[in-house]
Amino acid sequence: MEMQNLDKLVQFRHDIHQHPELGFCEHETSRKVQAYLDDLGVEYASGIGKTGIVAWIKGNTEGSDRTVGLRADMDALPLEETSGVEYSSKNKGCMHACGHDGHTTMLLGAVEHFHSNRDFAGTIYFVFQPAEEGVGGGKAMVDDGLFDRFPMDEIYGLHNWPGLPVGMFGVIPGPLMASGDRIDVTIHGKGGHGGLNPHGCIDPVRIAADFINRAHTIISREVDPLSPAVLSICAIESGDISGFAVIPDTARMSGTLRSLDKDTRKVMVDALERLSKSLEAYYGCTIDLNIEDKFEVTYNEEAATESAIKVIRETFGEETLAPNHKPTMGGEDFSYMLAACPGAYIHLGSGDEEHTHGLHNPGYDFNDKAIPFGVELLAGVALESLGKQNRRG
Q: Is 75 a catalytic residue?
A: yes
Q: CA-to-CA distance for 358 and 351, rounded, in angstroms?
A: 9
Helices assigned H by DSSP within the chain: 6-18, 27-40, 100-116, 137-143, 146-149, 204-215, 218-222, 262-283, 302-316, 335-340, 371-392
The one catalytic residue in 26, 73, 132, 261 is 132
Distance CA 382, CA 150 (A): 15
Condensed to tens digits (0 to 9), the pLDDT of residues 342-384 reads 999 999 999 999 999 999 999 999 999 999 999 999 999 999 9
Rounded CA-CA distance 317/303 in Å is 20
Domains of the chain: 6-175+297-392 (3.40.630.10), 179-295 (3.30.70.360)
Residue 238 DSSP class:
-
Evaluate if residue 389 carries a pLDDT over 70: no
Catalytic residue among 21, 26, 73, 75: 75
Phi and psi torsions of 165, nearest 5° = -70, 155
pTM (2 d.p.)? 0.94
280 noted as active-site residue: no
Q: Is 218's pLDDT higher than 60?
A: yes
Cβ proximity of 71 and 107 under 8 Å: yes
What is the DSSP track for 84-146? --TT--SSTT-B--SSHHHHHHHHHHHHHHHHH---SBSEEEEEEE---SSS-HHHHHHHTTH
pLDDT one-digit tens code per residue, 81-97:
999 999 999 999 999 99
pLDDT value at 393 more than 90: no
